[in-house]
Amino acid sequence: MGSCSLAFAILRRSFYLAVLPLAGLYVLVPLLFQTVPEFMQHAFFLNFVKVPFLDYTNLTYHGVAHLGRNFRLPEIGARVLCKGEEPVLGVWHVLPASLSRRLEAEIEAGTRKPLTDADYEALLDAESHGVVVYFHGNSFDRTNAHRVDLYNRLADLDFHVLAIDYRGYGDSTGFPSEDGLIEDAHFIYNYARARAPTKNIYVWGHSMGTGVSARFVAELSDLGIPPVGTVLESPFNNLHDVVTHHPLSRPYRWLGERFNRLIVDRWVDSGLVMHSDERIVKHKAPLLILHAADDHIIPVKLGKKLFEAADKAGVDVKYVEFEANLGLRHKFIHKAPHLADILKEFFQRCEAFTTSRKPTKRHEEVHIDA
């Protein structure tokens, strides 16, 4: 009798260990999507995934190789509020490498005082190839190592870099929504335009940031003030495809159309759309799409579909695919061979589009394996 009771107890415990996780996966999660809008937003934006107690004021500590500053950008007059309050964004401004070296030498020699916030704002319109406004993907913040490495590489090409944390990310106040992130993008872009009126301004988006950039640049194009060029790194074509192909959706894919009704449609109903393939057709400036063939988060075929949508609409677009043997995956394209040359050629083409003799529009696809 004792052995039977023990066996029954083991079976019961095994049953609970097997069934409870499945119940949470297939019952609790869909139920939360149906009943708790905040859960839906958090599940997509992952803004709660962060390192606590970070010091955002010390750029050098986080690996920034050039002079830069941390500052706060209040969204005065914001239309998309967070519980009735205007959000305040955390921002980094990294100086171009050549300008940074010169200023560091002057400060060290005692011929110039350390830079003030006013100095940095004035310098945004000085000695550079332009300004790159960077929009990161979901989770963590502007201090992430792969993002910092990209800032350094862009600064090495003599660009100013403005990197924001959207509302609810990093040290920015508020909480995210698609409309909110788009408004954040407008505020930092307007900040750059106001303080660098003689400089070319470029937009760079990575992962989720490509969805922000695609819509944001489409809106700028409608307003007649598009950036000089846009770079989309590891992008997706639309919300449905990126969600259904994400590794975390694998347990639900067998549900088929019911997965769309339970998960994807609920996101759309909550205001999360991110149909980049519909928005990119409005872009009025050259576009560069970068994707790795071994991207394990956003399959490369989704970036290719976005390229095809832009090409079909007559957008000036170049698609660069880095082969799997390079091991760049989802967030290491900044380490790609020849990236500096690819960017130099793209930025030069963008500059040519600002002249009266614009080059013929192109639709180019390139594969790089070494």
The catalytic site residues sit at 207, 295, 330
Q: Which among 193, 196, 200 is positioned nearest to 223, based on CA atoms? A: 193
User: Rounded to whole angstroms, how far apart are CA atoms 67 and 1?
Assistant: 76
Q: How many CB atoms lie within 10 A of CB 212?
A: 24
User: Rounded to whole angstroms, how far apart are CA atoms 182 and 166?
Assistant: 9
Q: At residue 351, what are phi and psi to the nearest 5 degrees?
A: -60, -40
Q: Are 208 and 74 in contact (CB under 8 A)?
A: no
User: Rounded to whole angstroms, how far apart are CA atoms 120 and 129?
Assistant: 16
Structure tokens, 291: 């994707």
Given its phi and psi angles, is residue 329 left (phi above 0), alpha (psi -120 to 50 degrees) or beta? left
User: Rounded to whole angstroms, how far apart are CA atoms 142 and 164?
Assistant: 7
Given its phi and psi angles, is residue 102 left (phi above 0), alpha (psi -120 to 50 degrees) or beta? alpha
User: Rounded to whole angstroms, how far apart are CA atoms 172 and 59?
Assistant: 16
What are 292's strand-pairing partners? 322
User: DSSP assignment, residue 27?
Assistant: I
Q: Which among 67, 69, 68, 87 is positioned nearest to 77, based on CA atoms? A: 87
Which are the contacts of 79, defined by CB distance < 8 A and separation ≥ 6? 183
Strand bridging mode 287-292 / 229-233: parallel
Q: What's the full length of the chain, in residues?
A: 370
What are 161's strand-pairing partners? 94, 132
